[in-house]
A and B are shown apart, each in its own frame.
Chain A
Amino acid sequence: AQSVAQPEDQVNVAEGNPLTVKCTYSVSGNPYLFWYVQYPNRGLQFLLKYITGDNLVKGSYGFEAEFNKSQTSFHLKKPSALVSDSALYFCAVLYSGGYQKVTFGTGTKLQVIP
């Protein structure tokens, strides 16, 4: 079984400040991890993924995420938040073996305050 948790329903950050959106996962074996962003009434857009290799992954729009195996976490980060980053963010996990079925978190709403 696999699962992913996003412990914060909402994160508020001031424009220009660094932001972190948290994600922890549970999976048997090696995980594939993804971050997506969703703007209102739209589909999800892929931001970045971790499969193997360097624990720090860089993605679209200046976002990055750090894979921490010991803490089973994959937190999304950005050094300087923009108002346009305000959206709903989803973490997703996939067990790298077996039949592929992605599990999504419940989402975290990011509000960047001007």
Chain B
Amino acid sequence: DGGITQSPKYLFRKEGQNVTLSCEQNLNHDAMYWYRQDPGQGLRLIYYSQIVNDFQKGDIAEGYSVSREKKESFPLTVTSAQKNPTAFYLCASSITGRSEAFFGQGTRLTVV
């Protein structure tokens, strides 16, 4: 089945630790995105990538980093510099930046 896969579904992090969220797609999409979802705030864009080896900061990139070494993979690292990382993280991909997006099932990150 074609789709976009995020792992893990739930992730717990101790304060001061870096964690990496995985996002893989087999849809052959060029564009990939990371969003953060907090209650009542909708989706906020963290990073996006239109092609391999290129990515751009979104609206709330501070404390996060990404890489796009392969077309199908766009991992997100939540660093210790992110002061409030507890949230629901969504990865998405689209054929182009102007197409509708396909979303993964999300990763819920909790700082303990």
Contacts and interface: CB of A to CB of B under 8 A. Distances in A.
**Most chain B CB atoms below 10 A, which of A34, A43, A102:** A43
A46 B102 contact: yes
Main secondary structure of the interface of B (DSSP, over half): strand
Contact of A106 (B40, B45, B48): B40
Given A32-B98, A96-B98, A101-B58, A44 B103 contact: yes
A41 B106 contact: yes
Contacts of A43: 4, 6, 90, 92, 103-106
A107 B94 CA distance: 21
B100 A100 contact: no
Contacts of A34: 100-101
Main secondary structure of the interface of A (DSSP, over half): loop
Interface residues of A, number: 23
Given A101-B45, A104-B42, A107-B42, A45 B97 contact: no
A99 B92 CA distance: 17
A63 to B, nearest CB: 14
Contacts of A46: 100-102
Contacts of B33: 102
B42 A105 contact: yes
Contacts of A99: 50, 56, 97
Interface string A38-55: 000111111001010000
B42 A90 contact: yes
B16 to A, nearest CB: 27
A70 B45 CA distance: 28
Given A45-B103, A49-B100, A90-B43, 14 more contacts: A32-B98, A41-B88, A43-B92, A43-B103, A43-B105, A51-B98, A94-B97, A100-B50, A101-B45, A102-B101, A104-B43, A105-B42, A106-B41, A107-B42
Per CB-CB distance, the 5 closest pairs between chain A and chain B, nearest first, are A100-B97, A43-B103, A106-B42, A104-B43, A46-B100
